[in-house]
Copies of this chain bind each other. A is one copy, B any other.
């Protein structure tokens, strides 16, 4: 199979971890006789530095012409601490999500047995956890109107949702639940927000079409608590953009490391795959960042392209690296040993 992949390394540790994902993909291409054509493109702080634009038109064009997009990370502290900056790296990612209509972000959260000891949570709380978080990605307060008054003393963010925006991801969440443990938990703040009430009404209506799936509601504050108290109660979590951002980062503690969490962002015509960790600027260039989330993102991408066996091969290699303790410092399993980013990548590619 011939596949064109847009590769966006991005900022911070993005380039390092994406390189390891490419090694794994190359190993898959060799073993299974595929041709993967990589089209490198820029986005984020590095794109601002070079072109002034966090999402150059060229990048958008490459993404639109590719079969899938593999993305590293975005963000740079020099922008975060400057509230007056008008051009920001994150705008690149947000615009890409919007332009490509990547409305459905899926973040699987699993407790890997080998890593359970690394979690701040007790083993009996997390063992067996298997959650799929469905986060709406192109609506809500992220894309609402933003205003700063002329005297710069009053700021405003608008949050809006339409029935259609809610419907399309809701159907995907229920379909996924049908192939899992048949439960969807809608996380909202319907006791305060009008948009949450529209979510609750729309999702309640759609649920009637999926009679074998149970629907449950949870206020976001309670959900933030329940995810830690008893994560095993969840199967599919469905939620809006901002709540999904918070809840999914929080849930990452369950896995023992955010360095292992991959995600997909799916639209009707495009699909992007990325680790959920950020650009981790402190580690940039040091060859210490954990490449597994990025490698597992590549596996999710293959899965999406229908290459199931190939995706499995990557996942098995990742599990092998964990069981042998060939891991980066952050998830050290073997007390006496930790490997560099590139060594972990090499091991995984060899194993495939």
A191 adjacent to B157 (CB under 8 Å): no
A191 in complex: contacting residue of B88, B152, B190, B258, CB < 8 Å: B88
**Complex contacts, A245 vs chain B, CB 8 Å:** 189, 220-221
Please pick, from B156, B189, B247, the residue contacting A158 in the complex, using a CB distance under 8 A: B156
**Could you say which residues of chain B place their CB within 8 Å of the CB of A248?**
221
**A218-259 residues at the B interface, CB under 8 angstroms:** 219-222, 224-225, 228-230, 242-243, 245-250, 252-253, 258
The reply to whether the CB of A313 lies closer than 8 angstroms to some CB of chain B is: no
A1 in contact (CB, < 8 A): no
Whether the Cβ atoms of B160 and A155 lie closer than 8 Å is yes
Cross-chain contact of A120 among B122, B162, B197, B246 (Cβ < 8 A) = B122
Residue A142 is within 8 A (CB to CB) of chain B in the complex: yes
A320 at the interface (CB under 8 A from B): no
Contacts of A306 in B (CB 8 A): none
Report the Cα distance A189→B163, complex, angstroms. Answer: 26
Nearest CB to that of A254 among chain B residues? B228
Kindly identify which residue among B146, B147, B190, B224 contacts A224, using a CB–CB cutoff of 8 Å. Answer: B224
A121: contacting residue among B160, B228, B242, B278, CB under 8 A: B228
Q: Which of B80, B88, B197, B252 makes the CB contact (< 8 A) with A155?
A: B197
Count of chain A residues with Cβ under 8 Å from any Cβ of B?
A: 65
A243 to chain B, nearest CB (A): 8
Q: Which residues of B sit under 8 angstroms from A168, Cβ to Cβ?
A: none
Residues on B with beta carbons closer than 8 Å to the beta carbon of A146: 193-194
Contacts of A249 in B (CB 8 A): 221-222, 224-225
How many copies of this protein are present in the complex? Answer: 2
Q: Is A339 an interface residue (CB 8 A)?
A: no
Tell me if B191 and A75 are in contact (CB < 8 A). Answer: yes
**Quick check: B253 and A229 within 8 Å, CB to CB?**
yes
Q: Does A90 contact B (CB under 8 A)?
A: yes
User: How far is B91's CA from A197's CA once the two chains are assembled, in angstroms?
Assistant: 14
Within 8 A of B (CB), among A129-176: 141-142, 146-148, 152-164
Assess the B250–A250 pair: CB atoms within 8 A.
yes
Q: Within the assembled complex, what's the spacing in Å between the Cα atoms of A84 and B190?
A: 11
A217, CB-defined interface residue at 8 Å: yes
21 contacts between A and B (CB under 8 A): A81-B217, A83-B198, A84-B201, A120-B229, A121-B121, A121-B228, A141-B141, A148-B197, A153-B162, A153-B163, A154-B160, A154-B198, A155-B160, A155-B162, A156-B194, A157-B159, A157-B193, A157-B195, A189-B245, A221-B246, A250-B250
Query: Could you list which residues of chain A lie within 8 angstroms of chain B, going by C-beta atoms?
Result: 75, 79-81, 83-84, 88, 90, 94, 120-122, 125, 141-142, 146-148, 152-164, 189-195, 197-198, 200-201, 204, 217, 219-222, 224-225, 228-230, 242-243, 245-250, 252-253, 258, 278
